[in-house]
Structure 1
Amino acid sequence: MLVSYKWLQSFVDLGNITPEELAEKITKSGIEVEGIEQKSTTMKNIVVGHVLEKETHPNADKLNKCLVDLGEGEPVQIICGAPNVAAGQKVVVAKPGARLPGNIKIKKSKIRGEESNGMICSLQELGFEGKVVPKDYAEGIYVLPSDAIAGSDALELLNLNDAILELGLTPNRADCMSMYGVAYETAAILGKSVQIPKSNYTSSNEKTSDYISVTVEATADNPLYTAKVIKNVKIGPSPLWLQTRLMNAGIRPHNNVVDITNFILLEYGQPLHAFDYDRFGSKEIVVRRAKVGEKLTTLDDVERELSSDHLVITNGSEPVALAGVMGGANSEVQNDTTTILLESAYFTGAVVRKASKDHGLRSEASSRYEKGIDPKRIHLAAERAAALIAELAGGEVLDGLVEFDQLVTEPISIAIELSKVNQFLGTELSLDDVASILQRLQFPYQLDGEKISVSIPTRRWDLQIAEDMYEEIARIYGYDNLPTTLPKGEQTAGGLTAYQKKRRIVREVLEGAGVNQAITYSLTSKEKVSQFALTKAEPVELAMPMSEEHGVLRLSLIPHLLDAVSYNRARKNENVSLFEIGSVFLSNGAGVLPKESEHLAGALTGLYINHPWQAQKVVVDFYTVKGILEQLFKKLQLDTMIRYEKAEYEGMHPGQTANILLNDQVVGYVGKIHPSVEKQYDVKNVYVFELMLDELLHTNVPPLAYTMIPRFPSMTRDIALIVENGTTAGELEEIIRTAGGKLLKEAKVFDVYEGDKVEAGKKSVAFTLTYFDPSRTLTDEEVGKAHEKILTALKDRARAELRQ
């Protein structure tokens, strides 16, 4: 619902409260204000101009030279390309120095050799959406009324200096789908009164009953129907104030009569419909269910086939409107219309919703009928519309109205007690406090000691039980004023478990490394279920699967991550980095629930780093992914417990896959997808990992310990070892660490070489060894002894020789 601040001000005295302050108060009372639009804040120097002369541009057939009076002395020349510009018009002019929406600046310029001192504007250029601009001005400039004064503020004239509040209404607050309803809500919040406009007009001596009769056959769908007749109407454009009210509310102006019915819809929340009496086809209105196969061409010029589920307004023989949704083209108000048949009725929400859904027609009227309207406004809305038609279209309102009325509205009374109000809200409100709130809401009530009987107005049909009233009291009292207390009991206030904290660390590390979190289905196909599984098990099948692709519970997260990579690459997103934390399901046998185990998996491909300015590109490879995991293990304080060893898995590249071991137990793997599987998924060079997150995060680690910055220097030795091709760097590193003793602090591989300078079948692996004692400076002799032990162990256990 779009609410005009200036229009609301005509109902409620808003005083000095700003639109922003009002929006905050409304939001705090339970109706969210989703936004505030003030078009004029971005615009200036927009005035009314009077076009004195117009001639064709000498150098361009589609441009015009206009001499425009801006109310500042000498008229100025403006070049305009609008096809509808003409001498004598009052138009909107953006002067040099003006700003338009989109931060467009207007300045003096030359267009095809002719000077232009500003711009004559269309409504779209002033920030109105094209769908709300009157059709006559959809393709050109907007022409103002002839009484507009040259040089005056055009923004004020067009109501662009208004603030529009967008209310996000929940279904239970349909009462605020009207200015009337929003006024009552605002008045309750501010503690003010509501001023409702009066409907004054002089009736004709002729009676409405002489012109029309009303028969309702579908009484359950339409318990109340009223009709008025207004003669001698002159169809024309609405006054500017009415057009701008509608446009600010998102409705396109048409003509004075149709615009009045839309205006009342916004003001009262009561849909109305105006028929051309002379095109109606008879002197009787019959409301009934449509016959099967019956057809109606609606106002949007679409022929619609009806069914017995749809309620229609007929002239006794054929449908002229789809009740509560849209009128028919055969009785549409047109420029030559002189007599209006005005409908105001109560249609039940279910029958309107059915027709709206079946025909894909959701109108402003149907949305209100679906949620419910106030039955007490049906007559008031009709009288208000008749008064405006008499005033703005010169109409002569016939005496009385014709109606069918079987609507029974049971008064709703809700009984509440002060003690229960305070118990429910946790407050200490007095009886006077509650009475004051009910007065602000304008709910009549009666007191019996501490018992309160509240009469609910028909405009608030959402209130049915005592709990509804407790909520109303809380809203107006102010949610901010409700006391806050901590839960009481044996348990203290909750917090994250150690496992949950570690899981957050996992997300933070991976997201910090540039890997995006994905969420995929827990269900997969029989063909994919065993791919990449860390633990082999019988798949758990669903008794009633949605489809073959989602028939079993997954054993690995990687297949669906590969689907996501494939989906991205098919859309030219070549650089993809994804991870997922999710469950896999291991069978415990037939008839027993499977074991649910949390895993962490990832899939990376393309460029990991791309800095064109520095000419730096890093393609994802095995060591990129391994490096991310090592950073994760370090953050979890597991790095000293982790090692890698060569591994083979179905679907993984045999030469670029490694098991990840935690305390010598396999907890995952990392590696490259096998080329045959890459072809299956239509991907290239994808590296993946999968880890048993349960095992990692449940592992006990010692408390984090800090040490002083060392006072004594370390010593390093580099060694290059000649070993068999099958010997891994991990095996050599383990031997080095075991033999190095207390003095060896670090061993890092910095080079691996295979080539013509090394014997066939062998390779060179180079390490940097760091020796350190925090309590003293090491001597060459001490380091030499430790170094010799390492070399001896390497020779004995790995047949490694120093490379010369």
Structure 2
Amino acid sequence: MLISKKWLSQYMDLGELTIEELADKITAAGLEVEGVEYLAKGTNLVIGEILTCKPHPDSDHLNVCEVNVKDEVLQIVCGAPNCKAGLKVIVAKAGAILPEIEIKKGIIRGVESNGMICSLLELGVDGKSLTDYQKAGIEELPEDAPVGDTDVLGYLGLDDEILDIGLTPNRNDCLAAFSMAKEAGAVLDKKVTLPDYEGKADGGESTKLIVRSETKKCPLYTGKVIRSLTIKESPMWMKHLLQASGVKSINNVVDISNLVMLETGQPLHFFDLSKLEKEEIIVKDGLKTKYTALDGIEYDICEDDIMITINDKPVAIGGVMGGDDSKIDDDTKGILIEAASFNHVSIRNTARRLNLNTDSSIRYQKGIEPRAPYKAMDRAVQLLVEYADAKDIEETVYSADRVIEDVTFDVSLERMNKLMGTAFTNEQVINVLERLDFNPTMNNDMINVVIPSYRQDVAIEADIAEEIIRIIGFDDLKSTMPVMGDTPGRLNKRQQLRRTLRDVLTNQGFYEATSYTLVSEKMHSDAIMPFDSYVELASPMSEDRKIIRGSIIPSLLSCVAYNKARSLKNIPFFEISNVYAKDKVEERLSIVLHGNLQENRWQKYEIKPTFYTIKGYVEAILEKLGYTGTRIVMKANKMDTVHFHPYQSAEVYIGRDLLGIIGVIHPTMAKEYEVGECVMAELNLEVILSNKTSKVRFEPVSKYPQIVRDLAFVVEKDLEVASIIKAIKGCGKQIIKEVEVFDVYMGEHVKDGYKSIALSTTFQANDRTLKDEEINEVHDQILKVLKDKLNAELRV
């Protein structure tokens, strides 16, 4: 935001306040002044008149001039093409310091020169505000310019200092000079007097103008016809204010539209009335066409863009730029004024896609106050009447009813003082609120505030507290040491879990990955154990980063694909991260293993990961955490057979709580993510944290011998081996130490629909050597239980 000291001085008395003091006070109040610029700079300047201009005897482009500066006549060598006798000019006398040069007496090709005749560029004036003629030569002053006047910058209106203010995202209101003046007045405790323009657009002759909005992206469109005005040069004060804001002066009508935008923050567009086919404006979207804008470039318009149309033909890109076919020129006699409200997201998308970051689009993107279109219309009509001889003014037409409600609420001084750690009095707070135009009134122990429409950032009590402390100043805050509780330096349960997981997995050769939390719609749709809701960003940087993820595996698969594409073959990754729903946050562990577990090119063997690999890793993790035995339950995966292989995956439970899903990736998902075959797991760590681990019991290694017996059973093909092992262990809990499957067979000598399971059972006691009678008793019980409960037949 650029605003000059002279501009602010129009609205308040700045007295002897220097630009540096003003910058410091505004910065201290929360609006950082990033720099101070000057419209022009130069010392030892004077207005002179060229008496004679003769060609240099030793040059074909230089001239030797005699210049009257009132108290003396200076001989100056000048090379400007427009240098001639009779001109009033700017003279930098010897000793003058300009932005990029110091002027000294000298000899130029044998001729003495005692100064320099200056162009505005040489005084540091921004070239964007100058014409090509001005940039090509010295500045030509009016005929009545006072020769000998040393206040040259003041005479030209260039003795101004400009504040470059960096606005925070919540203070878009300060893009308007009127609002910035209110802000400065509150900070400096100065009375602010703005121009009286309210209601200047009210009334007018009856009109045949019709305006209508056929898109929700334009909730309000206002139009006003002025059938008679005069195009001429703008007054100097207007030129200077525009110049201070980096805007080039065109003519009085165009300059008024730009000035009103700078004053109110509301972009306006003026159409040449004679160039419109019909006085009926319809705002719509859904068009797909080409359109030539004011800059002469043809743009591709898509269906999402807001277009201003007449007779179904576009005449402007809503909120971005008008068209070349209806612009104001020297022959304009009447105009149609547009002031509208547009959806800021739509304007941002259009401006970004077309690469058209105009002053209008920037303001619409940041958001504009609800009353701005009405303010801008009033101010524009006032200025057009005064400086463009506007006549035959017709009534204003609106596309929607005017419905604006003031934001008002009560705040408690006691609560705000407690929040800020201050002891401000009622008088101090009321004073600040009055300076901010919040219209405070006491209501018992509460203060009622009415928020001006341009302060869209103020909505709750905490906002009022912030306004109070920044205006009064942070110097009133007492310096205190932070209060810190006595806490032992140890990890909490969640931190211990993370550290254990990292230790176990890195010891197994895994690498920890950190992937993007923001994902695309496609990756979101591939979430493992998805939530019922999700969080989507209001203004994402790209379509690939618009949703806060609800699962880690899709992100981790992208990391695998990235590394695989760079010729890395074996990729063991894990990630610990939060996943999000609208009302829920979970911490999860995700594991993806791609490539070989082991390989030896010399001996020509390789071991690839399978379902049992990821199952083993998960069991090892849970065992390390203290979850073993019957507490861990694995069931066939029926929950997610879209992302996991339906016959090589499992659901993992701790008791009755679903911990996660493990297994081989589904071939379709592997193809979509370009990762090939891999195994993966996603576990909900909240389940681990919410369950208690088993107590660790230490037992000495038994000194008594083990007895191993092998058995083979024929069972139904669909019977889970886990149920056989569970049944066997239940028959002799005290002496059965281990049950291991060492063979599974289906084929010859086994009936269709059945399979042969061979198991090795280890018997051992901790306090004695087992006798055959004890083992036989348990062995017979195993056969009976398996026959009765599982219909298992002993294979002989």
1:95–1:489 distance in 2 versus 1, CA, 3 Å: closer
In 1, distance between residues paired with 2:360 and 2:409? 30
1:226 aligns with 2:256: no
Q: CA deviation at 1:360?
A: 0.8
In 1, distance between residues paired with 2:486 and 2:442? 42
Alignment of 1:427-442 (within 5 A): 427-442=422-437
Alignment of 1:309-458 (within 5 A): 309-396=304-391, 398-458=393-453
In 1, distance between residues paired with 2:256 and 2:132? 17
In 1, distance between residues paired with 2:82 and 2:282? 45
In 1, distance between residues paired with 2:477 and 2:200? 52
Does the CA contact (< 8 Å) of 2:271 and 2:336 recur in 1? yes
Aligned to 1:338, the other structure's residue is in SS state: coil
Aligned to 1:7, the other structure's residue is in SS state: helix
In 2, distance between residues paired with 1:53 and 1:174? 54
Q: CA deviation at 1:13?
A: 1.7
Aligned to 2:94, the other structure's residue is in SS state: strand
Question: 1:138-186, CA deviations, whole angstroms, 9 ceiling, x for partnerless residues?
Answer: 3333333444323322211334332211111011001111221111111
Matched letter for residue 111 of structure 1: I
Does the CA contact (< 8 Å) of 1:206 and 1:398 recur in 2? yes
Aligned length: 516
Alignment of 1:206-605 (within 5 A): 207=205, 209=207, 212-218=209-215, 220-229=217-226, 231-236=228-233, 238-289=234-285, 291-292=287-288, 294-396=289-391, 398-491=393-486, 538=509, 540=511, 542=513, 543-544=556-557, 545=559, 547-548=562-563
Q: CA deviation at 1:232?
A: 3.5
Aligned to 1:453, the other structure's residue is in SS state: strand
Matched letter for residue 72 of structure 1: D
Counterpart position of 2:173: 175
Does the CA contact (< 8 Å) of 1:321 and 1:328 recur in 2? yes
Does the CA contact (< 8 Å) of 2:221 and 2:338 recur in 1? no
Q: CA deviation at 1:550?
A: 11
Counterpart position of 2:99: 101
Question: 1:469-500, CA deviations, whole angstroms, 9 ceiling, x for partnerless residues?
Answer: 11111111212212232223444999xxxxxx
In 2, distance between residues paired with 1:219 and 1:98? 60
Matched letter for residue 182 of structure 2: Y
Does the CA contact (< 8 Å) of 1:273 and 1:344 recur in 2? yes
In 2, distance between residues paired with 1:51 and 1:217? 63
In 1, distance between residues paired with 2:302 and 2:381? 33
1:473–1:201 distance in 2 versus 1, CA, 3 Å: closer
Question: 1:96-138, CA deviations, whole angstroms, 9 ceiling, x for partnerless residues?
Answer: 2211002x11123343444433222222211123333334423
1:225–1:395 distance in 2 versus 1, CA, 3 Å: closer
In 2, distance between residues paired with 1:267 and 1:537? 66
Counterpart position of 2:44: 45
Counterpart position of 1:117: 114
In 2, distance between residues paired with 1:550 and 1:134? 59
Q: CA deviation at 1:32?
A: 1.0
Aligned to 1:282, the other structure's residue is in SS state: coil
Does the CA contact (< 8 Å) of 1:233 and 1:340 recur in 2? no
In 1, distance between residues paired with 2:567 and 2:310? 55
Question: 1:345-391, CA deviations, whole angstroms, 9 ceiling, x for partnerless residues?
Answer: 22232222122111111111111111222332423323333333344
1:380–1:484 distance in 2 versus 1, CA, 3 Å: same
1:306–1:234 distance in 2 versus 1, CA, 3 Å: same
Question: 1:578-614, CA deviations, whole angstroms, 9 ceiling, x for partnerless residues?
Answer: xxxxxxxxxxx95699xxxxxxxxxxxxxxxxxxxxx
Does the CA contact (< 8 Å) of 2:204 and 2:395 recur in 1? no
Counterpart position of 2:159: 161
Matched letter for residue 60 of structure 1: S
Aligned to 1:287, the other structure's residue is in SS state: strand
Aligned to 2:375, the other structure's residue is in SS state: helix
Does the CA contact (< 8 Å) of 2:181 and 2:192 recur in 1? yes
Task: Calculate the TM-score normalised by the size of structure 2.
Answer: 0.59
Q: CA deviation at 1:332?
A: 1.5
Q: CA deviation at 1:316?
A: 2.6
Aligned to 2:417, the other structure's residue is in SS state: helix
Matched letter for residue 213 of structure 1: I
Task: Calculate the TM-score normalised by the size of structure 1.
Answer: 0.59
Aligned to 1:138, the other structure's residue is in SS state: helix
Question: 1:602-650, CA deviations, whole angstroms, 9 ceiling, x for partnerless residues?
Answer: xxxxxxxxxxxxxxxxxxxxxxxxxxxxxxxxxxxxxxxxxxxxxxxxx
In 1, distance between residues paired with 2:336 and 2:462? 44
Aligned to 2:308, the other structure's residue is in SS state: strand
Counterpart position of 1:793: none
Gaps of 5+ in 1: 495-534, 555-588, 594-804
In 1, distance between residues paired with 2:403 and 2:567? 53
Alignment of 1:746-761 (within 5 A): none
Matched letter for residue 8 of structure 2: L
1:538–1:170 distance in 2 versus 1, CA, 3 Å: same
Matched letter for residue 128 of structure 2: K
Q: CA deviation at 1:56?
A: 4.7
Matched letter for residue 270 of structure 1: Q
Does the CA contact (< 8 Å) of 1:203 and 1:399 recur in 2? no
Does the CA contact (< 8 Å) of 1:218 and 1:288 recur in 2? yes
Question: 1:439-484, CA deviations, whole angstroms, 9 ceiling, x for partnerless residues?
Answer: 1111123322111221111010111222111111111121221223
Matched letter for residue 254 of structure 2: V
Does the CA contact (< 8 Å) of 2:203 and 2:394 recur in 1? yes
